[in-house]
Amino acid sequence: MSLDEKRRQKKLAKKAARRKAKLSDKKEILISRGAGAENIALALNSPLHECIIPEGLFDIGIGNILTSRKMPNGNVAFSIFLLDVFCLGVKNAYFFIMSRSEYDDKIRRIKLDADFKSLAPECVRKLVESAEAYAGELGFDPHPDYRSARKIFGDIDTEKCPMQFEFGKDGRPLFISGPNDTQAKCMKIMETLTKSCGPGGFHYMIGVNPGI
């Protein structure tokens, strides 16, 4: 192995270690805020607090969807789903338990990025699960934390939602690269879409200099 290659491997190892440390810190924060197994079970059986989605989600194509529950001790349990309704489905997902003041502050910061509106719980669940299913048909899996975050829905019945959601753009999937999407990731997504939709069966917009 050349000296340059050894240096590259060392840098990669350091990056991996920092990433692992950050993930560990996040887990500790959740535990310190009461997200233990018993509290999670209690949270998921608590009354719904609010369900919100961004205004113009299907015009923008991407946005945060939130469902929260108010716990008996005053804390708020909630899940946030970053939805790409044009193509990739559930790009990210989080579950939190916070004090009411922390929750209000987080919601305030989230609302700085977009205008939000309330939506019936059954329709929010239907939206999230339908987006995940749409992306799945194209060959894309939801974020790894989706399976945990979706538990916030509990026994909400999607059959009660009369709304129908149309995913993609102009009848086809539309992939829009993000600022953190590497060239390799973009190419992998394009290959997946070509496989599922055929050449020319989808739209795409890739930045001139995707993240490296």
pLDDT band at 92 (very low <50, low <70, confident <90, very high): very high
Question: What is the tens place of the pLDDT at every residue in 66-80?
Answer: 999 999 999 999 999
Q: What is the mean pLDDT of the chain?
A: 86
Q: Cα separation of 203 and 198, whole Å? A: 11
Q: Cα separation of 123 and 77, whole Å? A: 19
What is the pLDDT, as a whole number, of residue 7? 59
For residue 39, give the nearest of 81, 69, 65 by alpha carbon: 69
- Total length of the chain: 212
pLDDT band at 28 (very low <50, low <70, confident <90, very high): very low
E-state strands within the chain: 48-54, 62-70, 76-84, 89-98, 116-118, 174-176, 203-205
pLDDT band at 39 (very low <50, low <70, confident <90, very high): confident
Question: What is the tens place of the pLDDT at every residue in 149-203?
Answer: 999 999 999 999 999 999 999 999 999 998 889 999 999 999 999 999 999 999 9
| Contact between residue 201 and residue 174 where contact means Cβ atoms under 8 Å apart | no
pLDDT band at 35 (very low <50, low <70, confident <90, very high): low
Distance in Å from the first CA to the final CA of the chain: 24
Residues 6+ apart with CB under 8 A from 195: 139
Domain residue limits, the chain: 33-157, 174-205
Percentage with pLDDT > 70 across the chain: 80
- The pTM score is 0.81
In degrees and rounded to multiples of 5, residue 166 shows phi and psi of -110, 115
Residues 6+ apart with CB under 8 A from 153: 67, 121, 125, 128
